[in-house]
Amino acid sequence: MSENPQTEYDSPWKQILQLYFEDFMLFFFPQAHEQIDWTRQPEFLDQELEQVVRDAELGKHLADKLVKIYLKDGSETWVLIHVEIQSQEESNFGRRMYTYNYRIYDRYKRPVVSLAVLGDERANWRPSQFGYELFGCRVNFQFPVIKLVDYQQRRSELEVSRNPFALVVMAHLAALQTRDDRLQRKQQKLNLVRKLYQQGFEREDVLNLLAFVDWMLTLPLDLEAEFKTEVEQLETEQSMQYVTSFERIARREALLEGIEVGLKLKFGTDGSSLLPEISTIEGVEQLRAVLTGLEAASTIEELRQIYQSPTTDTQPEV
């Protein structure tokens, strides 16, 4: 799936990895998971990783993580999680993994474990090593690889698993299978939402996974409208309003982003200082009023009066 650099940086794959890193390791690399001390919080080192590899010509990738973890034997190590989502073979993948690995080791002088998850459709493309030999000098770098298309034959396992990454994998496979059939994509998206409701996840987990499913299985506007109607019926049956809540959160975040830009453009640093105060507002309509009022307000105090007015509806939209 081709993405521009900004989209890649903000990829939901990065978010889902960080939110559910322990589940990720348990699902894909259970033997490694067993050796990690999960009583100590993993530390994500995205900025450090960017500094280590930013000058390397490593090709396009979607999401990568550098995670500091501790082992059960008390020692400290570094784990590089590199997730590649692409639709075609990449000839230099093994070299890229090797480059990541040795650069991180060179900087930290700690053991580095490189892991790869491949989301392309070529079942036989499984790069797992890089090396060469000359004049008795040998380099032989090998790394574990997970191939998501393998799970097409393990559907029954995915159906019964309560690990969040079972649903992540199903969403990924559904995206591949329905690339040319949007009607089928709508049905599979609805099935995933139904499954998500029936699994008994906590509310926050449902919203996080809904965001991932929605990103993977985009629909044309007409089918998206049908999908929302069918979800409303499903939510009535299940006495849930998660999709409604998800959409409200998405609208709220979009409004806050618009307000942040508007504050900077109109009031500079003083305007930006107002954002933490505005961010406490839950009501979508109230935030929309703030964004609209930005154009007419000539001072920060005038803008503040818009959302501090007792006549303004402060109840969160549901």
pLDDT tens digits for range 93-111: 899 889 888 988 988 888 8
* Spatial contact of 312 and 289, defined as CB atoms under 8 Å apart: yes
Pairing of strands 112-118, 76-84: parallel
What pLDDT does 139 receive?
95
pTM for the model stands at 0.72
253-285 per-position pLDDT tens digit = 778 888 888 888 888 877 777 888 888 776 667
Domain spans in the chain, listed from the N-terminal domain onward: 5-143, 155-161+170-239, 246-308
Closest by CA to 13, choosing from 84, 69, 67, is 84
Helices 284-296 and 300-308: crossing angle in degrees, nearest 10, is 150
Pairing of strands 137-142, 129-134: antiparallel
Segment 61-66 shows an average pLDDT of 70
187-197 per-position pLDDT tens digit = 999 999 888 88
